[in-house]
Amino acid sequence: MTDNLYSDLPASPRQDELFLELLKRPGLRIERIVSTGQASPSGFWYDRPEGEWVLLLQGEAGIRFEDTAEPLALLPGDFLEIAPHRRHRVEWTHPDLTTVWLAVHYAP
């Protein structure tokens, strides 16, 4: 059986991001995240105990790390690794584009 990362994308902007777990194994979780203009709440920072590798498949986004002054602008095909406990936030996702992420969470 196959599926497609671009299946069931929202036709219009949503209030919340969509998270779909694609695979889960001990020490590994892969998910698709769909954003339609969302950003992390003001003052909120992700601080995860696991590592994360993120690939932007579609759309545009900005990720900021607590230890950097400016966000990184991501375009389709851009990817980055986020070390465990490296505090980060989504500064913005494009309000007029559906942004699709592939996130791989792994045990350190």
**Phi and psi at residue 19, to the nearest 5°:** -120, 130
Cβ count within 10 A of residue 56: 23
Tokens 């769909």 -> residue? 34
Quote the radius of gyration of the chain (alpha carbons, Å): 14
Q: What is the pLDDT of residue 108?
A: 83
pLDDT 10s digits, 44-65: 999 999 999 999 999 999 999 9
Rounded distance between C-alpha atoms, residue 56 and residue 20, angstroms? 15
CB atoms within 10 A of CB 24: 11
Stretches where the chain sits below pLDDT 70 are: none
Report which of 21, 9, 7 is spatially closest to residue 104, judged by C-alpha positions.
Answer: 21
d(CA 96, CA 104): 25
* pTM given for the model: 0.91
Domains and CATH numbers, the chain: 18-106 (2.60.120.10)
Specify the pLDDT at position 72: 97
d(CA 74, CA 54): 10
